[in-house]
Amino acid sequence: MAYHKKPRKFGRVKNQRNALLVGLASNLIIYGKIKTTVSRAKEVQGLVERMITKTKQPSLAGTRHVAKYLPKVAVEKLNKIAPNYAERKGGYTRITRVGQRINSDGAMQAIIELV
């Protein structure tokens, strides 16, 4: 049976959490690679992969769905890179662990990048 999957909350309320994830997703799409914590990378991975899947097929509904969440610059960049993944059925991103944050809290860091 499929049970409820508890989302990561990052110590924030819902609208702040959504703003964080949308910001990470748009930066990942624009720059192709970002460095963040492992848990944030795992959360944003699913969001970005769903958005790439929506824009692989050129449809108005998919474009509007993505435009609802991302800024215009990220949508334009996503429309350019999505056809590159036409043959892939998933797995558009890669998470690589890079060690702990040294100067502050020691959180595990990761680089998430588009494949």
User: Would you state the pLDDT for residue 2?
Assistant: 77
pTM: 0.90
The pLDDT of 51-58, averaged and rounded, is: 92
Calculate the alpha carbon distances from 8 to 17, 18, 30, 40, 63 in Å.
9, 11, 24, 8, 27
Tell me the per-residue pLDDT of 101-112, one tens digit each, with 9 for 90 and over: 998 899 999 999
Question: Which CATH homologous superfamily contains domain 14-114?
Answer: Ribosomal protein L17 (3.90.1030.10)
Over 90: is that where the pLDDT of 57 sits?
no
Sorting pLDDT into bands at 50, 70 and 90, what band is 41? Answer: very high
The pLDDT of 72-81, averaged and rounded, is: 94
